[in-house]
Chain A
Amino acid sequence: MPDPLLPEPLLTVRGLTIDIPVGGGTLHAVRGIDFDVNRGETLCIVGESGSGKSLTSLALMGLLGGRIDRRAARMEFDGIDLTGANKRTMRALRGDRMSMIFQEPMTSLNPAYSIGDQLTEALLLHRDISRDAARARAVELLEKVGITAAASRLGQYPHQLSGGLRQRVMIAMALMCEPELIIADEPTTALDVTIQAQILRLLVELGREMNMAMILITHDLGVVARVADKVAVMYAGELVETGSADEVFNAPMHPYTRGLLRCIPQPGKTERGARLGTIPGIVPSLVGKVSGCPFRTRCDQVVDACRQDVPHRHPGAGEHAFRCVHENGLRAGGEVVT
């Protein structure tokens, strides 16, 4: 039952499943994940490489390749059903009401067209607006993302800009139509460490200023701690734990989440000079039938029941949820070591 006091979430995803045909069968890359994003809210999806984070974001945008099978019990953006949406509907949404920032600024801009052409493209496609007005908007946004001499940049080409500048251009490009939802897939991974923080701060500030909902995909938990309203922890194609940033960081329930948090130094908790944790083992193969808890091969709380279906658990009154055979994520008699 939807709570009449709460507004409908901007984005609702239930049971999103992505299957990729591969040489020896089917890769079950994403298996039945659920999450919501409210207006103006930042959801961080964290997880290691190959956990299905990027596929999930591409699935939302309808940008998966033709051979990839995407299914969902429910996938709605502001009441628009995305599961059955035709190409035309998706095209109208993309770049206008929902837009995306990609991981690779070096290759995500078309080398043959000027920055100005690429910035104004989405606006000219979606709005009835003159070229001059579109260019004025582009200059305004370039200034907003901290690019100096913005007007003269419009005539420049991607190869004339540094990686940091290109990612700022990508951000400006995603904001051109003032989308309600912005999906940023590891937007700072390809950049120098020195400017990663700058770019991220910029993105989050602009998101707040324009009251955009944001899905930020990252494997950097330090980033998550600073910007997330909600966190979804992804492992091997499943969301193993979701909740508010406060719940997930301060009361992690799933053994994987706890393991991840042990891998980063936490102010006030990690002693100076102490060794940071690691999670031994590797992500399991997702080709063929996948059953039981995918984390059981690396979990320090594993029991026989982990081979069976894993229940969803809701430990508190809020949105906090995790999937584990153990009621509090711990084997009977186990001890929390965070």
Chain B
Amino acid sequence: MLQFILKRLGLALLVALTVSIISFSLLFLSGDPAAAIGGETATDQDIEAIRVLYGFDRPLPVQYWDWLSSALAGDLGESYYFKLPVATLIVDRLQITMLLGVCGITFALLTAVPLGVVAAIRPNSFIDRLALFLSVAGQAMPSFWFGLILIVVFAIQLGWLPPSGTASAAHFVMPTIVLGYYAMPAIMRLTRAGMLDVLSSDYIRTARAKGAPEGRVLFKHALRNAIIPVVSLAAVQMGFMLGGSIVVESIFALHGAGYLAWESIARNDLPTVQALILVFSLFYIIFTFLSDVLNAWLDPRMRAG
């Protein structure tokens, strides 16, 4: 198990390094960065001065090394737009995004897994039909539309919840539901399919033949096997929520990292975009690593790999 973890950790670091190279080179893929900073009115001398000031005249490997070592030290450069250290900017915004992401995935898992399990135990029952309806509806409704409907109903008409902002826990209720509901259908259906498959397997019959009570059969013997693919899916969904909740953040005016990424792309604020890409990728890498470890703990067959 320890060997497996070390191996996966090594792989994760290699991926992180590759991602850092890609995100570093992004700065140069969109034209001359010095000209971009100078703007349309800058003269050739101005651009040359900017180039020297920001160090763009040095060889690329040197610049990369410089960038990487300061990034590791927590210095991700300065935002062109905000004229603030990118690290400070991102940490602020990430807190909101991470809170939303954790709430969203928790909401998705807490609704999807029990619903999937019950639907698998009683296929074609009322609950199964309800679960299918909820998942089809969830997949068919765009997040922005669903978010707006919630605002209209619960904030404007009923006045139960605040429509936007981040001032209190109540502000996070609707964003959590919208974000979580987006991830719910896939998790629910994977849980249901996995449970159905596992419940018809020979080892479940063996467990029953031992006289194991039904609850033990379902949760100890079946769910542990059925949940394995769900863990991998949830890790990807979590990574997605931390990086891609742009729509939800815009609708509810939560100024999180997704919203910042969208703004920064529009403003050509390259250091910020670069840093966000790096951070989002690192999240994916961390969640994939954690899901690999969790899966190896759940399924001994994976520990050998």
Contacts and interface: CB of A to CB of B under 8 A. Distances in A.
Contacts of B224: 112
Interface stretch (B37-45, B79-87, B102-110, B297-305): B297-305
Given A95-B210, A96-B211, A125-B211, A111 B205 contact: no
A126 B209 CA distance: 12
A186 to B, nearest CB: 13
B300 A110 contact: no
B50 interface: no
B160 interface: no
B206 A108 contact: yes
A105 B232 CA distance: 29
A110 B207 contact: yes
Interface in A172-196: 173
A108 B201 CA distance: 8
Nearest to A94: B211
A245 interface: no
Interface string B202-234: 110111111111100000010011000000000
A159 B301 contact: yes
Interface in A78-135: 87, 91-96, 99-100, 102, 104, 107-114, 121-122, 125-126
A308 to B, nearest CB: 39
A114 B303 CA distance: 13
Contact of B300 (A94, A99, A111): A111
Looking at chain B's contact residues, the main secondary structure is helix
A93 B211 contact: yes
A102 B202 contact: yes
Residue from A95, A111, A112 having most chain B Cβ neighbours under 10 A = A112
Contacts of A102: 202, 205-206, 209
Given A157-B300, A159-B300, A159-B301, A111 B210 contact: no
B254 to A, nearest CB: 39
A257 B219 CA distance: 46
Interface in A54-86: 61, 63
A100 B209 contact: yes
A92 B206 CA distance: 15
A125 B217 CA distance: 12
Contact of B202 (A107, A112, A126): A107
B207 A157 contact: no
A121 B299 CA distance: 19
B105 to A, nearest CB: 23
B206 A91 contact: no
Given A63-B205, A102-B202, A112 B210 contact: no
B209 A110 contact: no
A107 B210 contact: no
Contacts of B201: 107
B211 A108 contact: no
Nearest to A109: B203
A95 B206 CA distance: 9
Nearest to B225: A112
Contacts of A61: 209
Interface in B168-210: 201-203, 205-210
Contacts of A122: 210-211
Contacts of A111: 203, 225, 299-301
A104 B300 contact: no
A87 B214 CA distance: 10
A94 B205 CA distance: 11
Given A159-B300, A159-B301, A108 B208 contact: no
Contacts of B203: 107-111
Interface in A282-297: none
Contacts of B225: 110-112
Contact of B209 (A95, A109, A114): A95
Contacts of A121: 207, 210, 212
Interface string A149-161: 0000000010100
A157 B209 contact: no
Nearest to B299: A112
A101 to B, nearest CB: 9
B301 A95 contact: no
B202 to A, nearest CB: 4
B89 to A, nearest CB: 45
A63 B209 contact: yes
A57 to B, nearest CB: 10
Interface of B: 201-203, 205-214, 221, 224-225, 298-301
22 contacts: A61-B209, A87-B214, A94-B208, A94-B209, A94-B210, A99-B209, A102-B202, A102-B206, A108-B203, A108-B206, A109-B203, A109-B206, A110-B203, A111-B225, A111-B300, A111-B301, A112-B224, A112-B299, A114-B300, A121-B212, A157-B301, A159-B301
* List of 7 A-B pairs having minimum Cβ-Cβ separation, nearest first: A95-B210, A95-B211, A94-B211, A122-B210, A107-B202, A157-B300, A110-B203
Given A94-B210, A170-B206, 18 more contacts: A63-B208, A63-B209, A91-B213, A94-B208, A94-B211, A99-B210, A102-B206, A107-B203, A108-B206, A110-B207, A111-B299, A111-B300, A112-B300, A121-B212, A122-B211, A126-B211, A157-B301, A173-B206
